[in-house]
Structure 1
Amino acid sequence: MSKKVTDVVADLAAPIVNELGLELVDIEYVKEGKNWFLRVFIDSDDGVDIEECGIVSERLSEKLDPLDPIPHNYFLEVSSPGAERPLKKEADFQKAIGKHVNIKTYEPIDGEKVFEGILESFDGKTVTVTVTIKTRKKQVEIPYEKVAGARLAVIFG
């Protein structure tokens, strides 16, 4: 198969979640131990419940079965991305402005590769985060192409 499994699944899942008024957040296809897992993460502004996850799982299974893009047994899991949802697309960064985030970069910026703080702005090229170092606040500008991973971060305390 020329397309990656996650791309095939995204093509099948997108119309299903859109029809339900939900958002397709992410798709993972991973091996854990001897088992393979196909994880589909969905969300909405109001969150998602177990019933919505079940509907997406059932409809997606119906689409996957005849195509059979995965040659071996796997577990299909459909769930919410949780409180620390990943920021994958530019729109995710836009929605996260003003929220607490954790960003990892491919290479150091000001000697650091992990930044946690408030996402101040995103213009499509630069992610600006206010981080607190001891008691001092500092704005860090991170080139978007250097972002290795980003997610919302929950603050405990």
Structure 2
Amino acid sequence: MTRSPLIERIAAAVGPALEPLGVQLWGIEFASAGSRMVVRIYIDAEDGVSIGACAKVSRSLGAVFDAEDVLPGAYVLEVSSPGLERRFFSAAQMAAYAGQQVDVRLHEPQDGRRHLRGILSGVEGEDILIDEAGKVTRVAFDRLKGAHLVHEFPDTGIKAS
């Protein structure tokens, strides 16, 4: 997944603004809402991200975006935590989640497949290693359309009725 020049420009403006707020930039993505662009900023912190932190970051970034004219035209700014099934924006982010289940989608098929789901067995440089029932597949991160963690709820032993 390569980063566009617009994402690079936003990241350069966002990074310094987040530091004093005690959070780090996790990722940036775009969507659309009618004629407006939606800019989603994902933030993370060692002790988690609260709704209050998201609101504070949103106010701060709105001022930064307006002052530095980072985005052309009308936009909607959304600030969120990456959540339990966090999307990954770099191979380096994935390294901390080795041993956990991930879901990976590819732009183009590799070995006839565009979808992999298995245990992240490691990260080597910009390559990720996915173990699907003992078969390990190496994928270059820039070939990914998307990748996210698959949260597994612990078995409490309680049966649904």
Cα distance in structure 2, aligned partners of 1:10 and 1:53: 17
Aligned to 1:92: 93
Report the 3-state secondary structure (helix = DSSP H, G, I; strand = E; otherwise coil) of the residue aligned with 1:83.
Answer: coil
**1:143 is the counterpart of 2:144:** no
Shift in Å, 1:92? 0.6
Aligned to 2:159: none
Shift in Å, 1:57? 1.1
Q: Judging changes above 3 Å, is the alpha-carbon distance between structure 1 residues 72 and 143 closer, same or farther for their aligned structure 2 residues?
A: closer
Shift in Å, 1:122? 0.9
Aligned to 1:44: 45
- Corresponding pairs, count: 151
Aligned to 1:152: 149
Aligned to 1:54: 55
Shift in Å, 1:14? 0.5
**Kept after mapping to 2: 8 A contact 1:103/1:114:** yes
Shift in Å, 1:125? 4.2
Report the 3-state secondary structure (helix = DSSP H, G, I; strand = E; otherwise coil) of the residue aligned with 2:56.
Answer: helix
Cα distance in structure 1, aligned partners of 2:107 and 2:53: 36
Q: Note the residue ranges of structure 1 that are not aligned, 5 or more in a row.
A: none
Aligned to 1:67: 68
Q: Judging changes above 3 Å, is the alpha-carbon distance between structure 1 residues 97 and 73 closer, same or farther for their aligned structure 2 residues?
A: same
Q: Judging changes above 3 Å, is the alpha-carbon distance between structure 1 residues 74 and 143 closer, same or farther for their aligned structure 2 residues?
A: closer
State the one-letter code of the partner of 2:68: L
Aligned to 1:103: 104
Shift in Å, 1:13? 1.1
Identity value in percent: 32
**Kept after mapping to 1: 8 A contact 2:91/2:128:** no
Q: CA RMSD in A?
A: 2.2
* Residues 32-84 of structure 1: per-residue CA shift (max 9 Å, x gap): 33332121110123220011111111111221222223343222111112222
Cα distance in structure 2, aligned partners of 1:59 and 1:94: 30
TM (normalized to structure 1)? 0.82
Cα distance in structure 1, aligned partners of 2:152 and 2:111: 24
